[in-house]
Amino acid sequence: MHDFPNLTVIDHPLIRHKMAVLRSRGTSKKIFRELVDEIAMLMGYEVTRDLPLKDVEVETPLETTVAQMVSGKKLTLVPVLRAGLGMVEGMLRLMPAVRVGHIGLYRDHETLLPVEYYFKIPSDADARDCIVLDPMLATGGSASAAVSSLKRQGATRVRLMSLVAAPAGVQKMLDDHPDVQVYIAALDRELNDAGYILPGLGDAGDRLFGTR
């Protein structure tokens, strides 16, 4: 349980199982990538639960009926480079037609503050719902900066999807962007002195891309 009004923990048994394997230091790069992709897809199902629907008329082989489809509201996925890239394909499998923007950010190792090096999103961001993708919400500096950049471009409806969060990161999002709902698979204990989440899963970007 937690007391964060901005936080939704999606802890379906299948997600918990996959998170356990994801966390293990013995998990290979290949399996790690596959799991990030699968967990993102499973979470995406819940993160998009409130998408508006519209009635449509459908002719079945037997008669005409009224069914429902997702209405024209435009969605944009915004992965935070690098590690957020690992979550894109899983979400695109659910919603193949959505657009994808990119925000490049890295944490300065000394200050732990985010440094932005790339920003490219669809031009009509103000008319779109944005889902920011980043597996790790640690101090919250990167996610908060990503949301601030999107808002500067006119985005008004933003949500954040991460796999693992530290309480400090969720609190920073609540302080800086109380309007942004944060969806995660696990709320971990704390940050260590180097800003890593404990117990966490290590450096998500390095584990996804084989760097160190």
Three-state secondary-structure class, residue 74: strand
Pick one of 136, 158, 180, 208: the residue that binds ligand URA (CB under 6 A): 136
Backbone CA torsion sign across 21, 207, 49, 99: negative
User: Is position 140 an interface residue for ligand URA (rule: CB under 6 A)?
Assistant: no
Q: What string marks each residue from 119 to 158 as x (binds ligand PRP by CB under 6 A) or -?
A: ---------------xxxxxxxxxx---------------
In this structure, are residues 41 and 94 in contact, taking their beta carbons and an 8 Å threshold? yes
Residue 48 or 141: the one with the smaller Cβ distance to ligand URA is 141
In this structure, are residues 168 and 140 in contact, taking their beta carbons and an 8 Å threshold? yes
- Per the listing, tokens 């899963």 go with 201
Q: What string marks each residue from 163 to 182 as x (binds ligand PRP by CB under 6 A) or -?
A: ------x-------------
User: Which residues lie below 8 Å from residue 133, measured CB to CB, with a gap of 6+?
Assistant: 40, 77, 78, 79, 80, 84, 87, 88, 91, 161, 162
User: Is position 107 an interface residue for ligand PRP (rule: CB under 6 A)?
Assistant: yes
Chain residues binding ligand PRP by CB under 6 A are 80-83, 105-107, 112, 114, 134-143, 169, 195, 203-205
Chain residues binding ligand URA by CB under 6 A are 83, 136, 138, 195-197, 200, 203-205
